[in-house]
A = this chain, B = another copy of it.
C-alpha cells in the first residue's frame, strides 16, 4: 500500500464503513459517494497504478461492514459495474449517485406529502429520517396529528417524536403495547424502509406485525424508500441476514403494504418489487458470498 491510504478521502470511507448507520442511510450514501469520487480523482492524478485495486479494497470494506445499509450496498454495486470504464467514467457516475442520494429525502417528502390529509392522524413506527422529512414538509401546508410508536428497546420512535415536537408538530409517543388500541382511529400508517427487495421490504423489527394488523382494519400502510434502497434478491437477502444480527431489522411481505413512496412516484408494491427484480448485480458482489 502506498500513501493513498492516508488520504482524507480514504480515511473518511473507512470511518463510514466502521460506524453503524441508522437514521440517514441515503445521506450517508451521498457522503460515501463524494469521498469515493474524490479518491478516484486523487488516484488518477497521483497514483494511477493503484486504480482499480484501491477501489476494490474500499468497496469490499464497505460491503463487509455495511451489508445491511442498502444505499451503501447500491453504491458498491455501482462501483463494481462501472470500474472497468476507467476513472473518468467512474468519478462522473459517483458524482451523479452523490447528487441523487443527497436529494432523495427532499424528493420523497414532496412525493409523499399529498397522502397526508388536513386533520388526519398519522401513525409511524421506528425512527426513519425520511419519515421525519416527510412529516415536517407536510406540516408546512396542513395540520395533522402524529403518533410515534416508541419502538423499544432502542426507542427510535421517542427520538423521532422529540424531533417532530421540536419542529412544532402535534405529536405523541405511543407505547408499543398500546398500538392495537389506537390503530382503528388511525388514518394512515407511514414507515421508512431500510431496503426493498423483489417480494419483501426490510425495516425496524415490529413493522410486519403492524402491517398485518392494519390490513384487516383497512388502514392504509405506506412505506418510504429511496430508489437507492431497492436491492436485487441476493443483495436484499444478505441485507436482511446482516440486519437480523443485531435484532434491529426484519422482513415484511410487500403484499401487506398499500404503496411504496419513491422518487419515481407512489408505486404499487408489485411495481416496487419489480424495480428490485430489474436491478443489475455485479458478479463481483455475488462471488463475495
Cβ-based interface call for A92 (8 A): no
Q: Once the chains are docked, how many angstroms separate the CA of A133 from the CA of B167? A: 10
How many copies of this chain does one complex carry? Answer: 2
Chain B: CB-nearest residue to A129 = B163
Q: Once the chains are docked, how many angstroms separate the CA of A22 from the CA of B158? A: 10
Taking chain A's interface residues, is the majority helix, strand, or loop, or is none over half, making it mixed? helix
A6-23 interface with B by 8 A CB criterion: 8, 11-12, 14-16, 18-23
Contact status of A106 and B175, CB under 8 A, knowing A21-B159, A24-B159, A31-B158:
no
Most B-side CB within 10 Å, residue of A8, A152, A155, A162: A162
**A19 engages B165 (CB within 8 Å):** no
Chain B: CB-nearest residue to A16 = B158
Contact status of A102 and B166, CB under 8 A, knowing A23-B159, A159-B22, A175-B11:
yes
A21-61 interface with B by 8 A CB criterion: 21-24, 26-28, 30-31, 35
Q: Once the chains are docked, how many angstroms separate the CA of A129 from the CA of B159? A: 10
Chain B: CB-nearest residue to A38 = B172
Q: Once the chains are docked, how many angstroms separate the CA of A35 from the CA of B152? A: 18
Contact status of A166 and B15, CB under 8 A, knowing A20-B154, A159-B21, A159-B28:
no
**A15 engages B176 (CB within 8 Å):** yes
Q: Which residues of A contact B (CB under 8 A)?
A: 8, 11-12, 14-16, 18-24, 26-28, 30-31, 35, 102, 105-106, 129, 133, 150, 152-155, 158-159, 161-163, 165-166, 171-178
